[in-house]
């Protein structure tokens, strides 16, 4: 997210809303990236993630200015024009209804407020053999199988069309392609990915109806160990209401 950080470093966040906050990674990103802020509310539909985010906050020096709420972004319980900044990172492909969430985000953002966006994308034309999106598509298929909304990676064009629909002012995009990660990489990225694949495998391991999905997962694990993988490119955007 370094390229997006660079766009944010001289901006004040004011009162911020983070959509799909998960267990707090994006809230941490915002506190780090913006020059300052008044408060951050992180919302997520998952009770379990909000619980983890709240636990992580207990030891934070920022805990007085940050709070988490369980809430569906499609139907937020905030008044119109409540926030100076609204942010959504790594969450588009988890949404059941992207236009409905974007419309809610615009409603709760005050006039001239700042919109922040970040997401990986996928381009068929520039696809490389061991690209991460194959693994990600499998994650999404596993989640769908167990009843959790999770979509395949969006294309850059689809993402830009969604952001364009917000009709923001002074929109700036940043694009970034991360380098391939080799099996002998020492940063721990391969181990993390294997651990994550196994977490998804655990969701289906004992389900006889999931044998095809299990086979696909095993293939991904093999390929990651043998050849590594290439992360998906990412797109970030900022703009004003
Ligand atoms: C991959 S996580 C992103 C976490 C964090 N923003 C980050 O960048 O690290 C996507 C999150 O979106 C949440 N989510 C999905 N649909 C949602 C909805 N309708 N309203 C609120 N949160 C939602 C999921 O529960 C999940 O925690």
pLDDT at residue 39 greater than cutoff 80: yes
CA 91 – ligand 1 centroid, Å: 5
CATH code where residue 85 lies: 3.40.50.150
As for how many domains the chain has, the answer is 1
The string of pLDDT tens digits covering residues 107-140 is 999 999 999 999 999 887 766 777 898 999 999 9
CB-ligand 1 contact for 20 (6 Å cutoff): yes
- Residue with CA closest to ligand 1 atom 13: 20
Structural domain of 26 = 2-240
d(CA 140, CA 150): 5
What pLDDT, on the 0 to 100 scale, is given for residue 221?
95
Residue 236 near residue 7, CB atoms below 8 Å: yes
The string of pLDDT tens digits covering residues 24-34 is 999 999 999 99
> What residue ranges in the chain does DSSP mark as E strands?
15-19, 39-44, 66-70, 83-89, 109-120, 169-176, 234-240
pLDDT at residue 47 greater than cutoff 90: yes
Atom of ligand 1 nearest to the CA of 73: 20
pTM for the predicted model, two decimal places: 0.93
What pLDDT, on the 0 to 100 scale, is given for residue 154?
94
CB-ligand 1 contact for 72 (6 Å cutoff): yes
Question: Which residue in the block uniquely carries the two structure tokens 């809230």?
Answer: 27
> What residue ranges in 140-205 does DSSP mark as E strands?
169-176
The string of pLDDT tens digits covering residues 171-182 is 999 999 888 999
What pLDDT, on the 0 to 100 scale, is given for residue 50?
97
Token duo for residue 144: 């769908």
What pLDDT, on the 0 to 100 scale, is given for residue 86?
98
CB-ligand 1 contact for 26 (6 Å cutoff): yes
């Amino acid at each position: 997210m370094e390229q997006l950080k660079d766009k944010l470093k001289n901006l004040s966040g004011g009162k911020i809303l983070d959509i799909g906050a998960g267990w707090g990674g994006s809230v941490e990103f915002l506190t780090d990236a913006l020059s300052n802020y008044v408060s951050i509310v992180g919302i997520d539909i998952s009770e379990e993630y909000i619980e983890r985010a709240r636990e992580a906050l207990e030891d934070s020096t920022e805990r007085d200015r940050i709070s988490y709420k369980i809430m569906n972004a499609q139907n937020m319980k905030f008044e119109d024009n409540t926030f100076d900044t609204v942010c959504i990172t790594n969450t588009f492909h988890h949404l059941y209804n992207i236009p409905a969430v974007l419309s809610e985000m615009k409603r709760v953002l005050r006039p001239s407020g700042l919109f922040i966006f970040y997401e990986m994308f996928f381009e068929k034309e520039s696809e490389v053999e061991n690209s991460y999106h194959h693994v990600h598509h499998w994650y999404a298929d596993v989640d769908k199988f167990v009843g959790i909304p999770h979509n395949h990676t969006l294309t850059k064009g689809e993402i830009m069309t969604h952001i364009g629909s917000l009709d923001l002012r002074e929109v700036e995009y940043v694009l970034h392609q991360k380098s391939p990660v080799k099996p002998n990489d020492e940063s721990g990225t391969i181990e993390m990915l294997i651990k994550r694949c196994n977490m998804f495998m655990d969701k289906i391991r004992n389900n006889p109806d999931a044998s095809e999905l299990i086979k696909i997962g095993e293939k991904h694990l093999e390929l990651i160990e043998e050849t590594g993988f290439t992360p998906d490119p990412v797109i970030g955007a900022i703009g004003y209401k």
